[in-house]
Amino acid sequence: MLLQTAALDPQETIDVFIAGSGPIGATFAKRCVDAGLRVLMVELGAADSFTSKPMKGENRSVQFAPGQVPIPGYHKKNEIEYQKDIDRFVNVIKGALSTVSIPTSNNHIATLDPAVVSNSTAQPFISLGKNPCQDPFVNLGAEAVTRGVGGMTTHWTCATPEFTTDTERPKLSTDAAEDESIWKDLYAQAKSIIGTSTTQFDHSIRHNLVLKTYEDLYGRTRAFGPLPLACHRLSDPDYVEWHATDRILEELFTDPAKRARFTLLTNHRCTKLVFKHYRPKEENAVEYALVENLLPHTQSPGETAPVQKIKARAYVVACGAVATAQVLANSHIPPDETVIPFPGGTKGSGGGEPNAIIETPLMPMLGKFITEQPMTFCQVVLNSSLMEVVKNPPWPNMDWWKAKVAKHIAEFPNDPIPIPFRDPEPQVTIKFTEEHPWHVQIHRDAFSYGAVAENMDTRVIVDFRFFGYTQPQEANELTFQRHYRDAYDMPQPTFRFEMSADDRARARRMMDDMCNIALKIGGYLPGSEPQFMTPGLALHLAGTTRAGLDANKTVADTRCKVHNFDNLYVGGNNVIETGFAANPTLTSICYAIRASNDIISKLKPRRA
């Protein structure tokens, strides 16, 4: 669906231009529009998931249902079919993910018809992310992106923990007390924006069974607790509404005054930003954003897709860790008429070796120091002894539990499992600590893997996902190929990522810990025994446009303003400069709040 809110005047200068419509871009948009600024947001993908809300006031010219307006970016897991059968959601996630860099395969198919086109060592297939420059041994093979309004929040787990230690949490100030205060305030605001809670599974039997069993087993030696989640219980307490980007964008669609200041263009590619000049280490600015409509509806046959030069007072690139760096890398290729001075002569904007990497002299740390999370996974079937605990919970204040079990047994006396059919899943975590430096999720959720066979009852299945961290290393990088293109005709991303010796040893300890914890409550489900997952599968790539206090090792400052640019900001997991194990979305929202405040302080006073 092509979605446009307020009309766009090509001659109008926008206050804030935003590339990307995920939760980070949406946070920038909400805060800037709330402050009275005019915002244009472009999204490469479509708006393919909606909820509806009443329009405020009498202006109801755009209706989704009587008296309602559509809000894009809704979590697809909220559909009733997935609330009832979470394993069916696995295919939705798979369909939403596009793998970033696929090494070409030169495997010879001896039985292929000799008259047909075939792959070869000399000329491998290169379309749709197939990348001849990608070394499979240093690839993040499962790293993927989601294109569309809401980004990955249309299918994410909604896990929103804080970074809790100095290892994970970046520094926003050199003063420790001030840094602590800044983060405390930002996390409180971020939780409010996305709607984080730790109480929505308090009346789940399975949740309490897992949590309290572990608390009894480990006492105070490990910090088991409810996983912070962006969701809320519905009037039917067996179901929840999972929060996504629609929650952040809501008032920009339902409030007529705010709607008039906000334009969202879908199926539009931010191809590049054009800079005032291309001289490194000099103060610079973005002149305009080059935006292309990929699905024009009024296009004549043979006519090229319309391209617009969008001028704004501030520019935000927040389209994911890969695409944000991709847009900035592409921006380093100047317009054809530009001539750049180089020592010993000049050169224009094109050329280079056949497999040349795009040079980024204006942002030398672009794509450097990237991090991802090593990940271990298993599923267990609960011990049969725990079914007796379900029937007779030993913990106080469990009358609600006993009543639900008694009702289920009375209604379904032939069911061998005493857990009610619609009992919510467990959502348990163990916090990252310096002694156990990994983030733990003990739950039953949908990912692009781990679906349970139909002959198993998912009420007795528990998933274990342990997420480690990797130390930032400059050699770990994301680069972009000048002469290979991705499916959207942008420079092809290429990874070079290797874990350090410490990273590898820590990952082994994490696996040992997962196995020890998992076997305390059950036995492994055949096919889901403990395993390391393909690098990148956590989908928490970070550091591609890192922000921080040291200008020599970052792309942007702690307010996410790109060094030497007075009107360019970045947002997303890509700004996080530390290695981390916990889910990063809440922390990235914190950065977006801080950056938005900087934009507002610069632009708002000048609006007369």
Cα separation of 44 and 319, whole Å? Answer: 9
pLDDT tens digits for range 435-452 = 999 999 999 988 878 778
Q: Which amino acid is at 555?
A: V
Give the N- to C-terminal CA distance of the chain in Å, as an integer. Answer: 36
CA angle 428, 148, 201 (to 5 degrees): 20
User: In terms of residues, how long is the chain?
Assistant: 608
Residue 176 in tokens: 């420790």
* Architecture of the domain spanning 14-98+144-159+161-193+243-364+542-606: 3-Layer(bba) Sandwich (3.50)
What is the model's pLDDT at position 56?
A: 82
Please give the backbone phi and psi of residue 163, each rounded to the nearest 5 degrees, phi first. -80, 125
Token representation of residue 218: 């480990």
- Higher pLDDT pick, 172 / 130: 172
Active-site residue, selected from the candidate residues 78, 540, 563, 567: 540
Mean pLDDT of 94-112: 87
Q: Is 414 a catalytic residue?
A: no
| Element holding 346 (H helix, E strand) | strand 345-347
pLDDT of 297 reads 67
Q: Give the lowest-confidence range in 124-138, 415-429, 590-604.
A: 124-138
Mean pLDDT, residues 158-184 taken together = 96
Q: Are 209 and 460 in contact (CB under 8 A)?
A: no
What the block records as the tokens of 452 is: 């349970």
| Interatomic CA distance for residues 569 and 552, integer angstroms | 17
DSSP states along 270-302: EEEEEES---TTS-B-EEEEEEEESS-SSPPTT
Q: What is the per-residue pLDDT for 343?
A: 42
Three-state DSSP state, 594: helix
Taking residues 57-79, report their average pLDDT. Answer: 76
- Between CA 415 and CA 417 the distance in angstroms is 5
Comparing CA positions, the residue from 252, 291, 265, 305 lying closest to residue 1 is 265
Burial of 296 (0-12, 13-18, 19+ CB in 10 A): middle
Alpha-carbon gap, residue 31 to 316, rounded angstroms: 13
Q: Please list the helix, strand and coil fractions of the chain in percent, rounded to the nearest 5, in that order.
A: 25, 20, 50
Average pLDDT of the chain to the nearest whole number: 91
Domains of the chain: which residue ranges?
14-98+144-159+161-193+243-364+542-606, 199-227+375-468+505-532
116 pLDDT band, cuts 50/70/90, is confident
Active site residue 540: yes
For residues 25 and 150, give the distance between their C-alpha atoms in angstroms, rounded to a whole number: 9
Q: Which of 166, 2, 167 is nearest to 72 (CA)?
A: 2
What pLDDT does residue 349 have?
46
What are 442-494's pLDDT values in tens digits? Answer: 999 888 787 787 788 999 999 999 999 999 999 999 999 998 999 999 999 99
Would you state the pLDDT for residue 129? 75
% pLDDT > 90, the chain: 80
> How many Å apart are CA 522 and CA 504, to the nearest integer?
27
- Which of 208, 330, 567, 583 does the annotation list as catalytic? 583
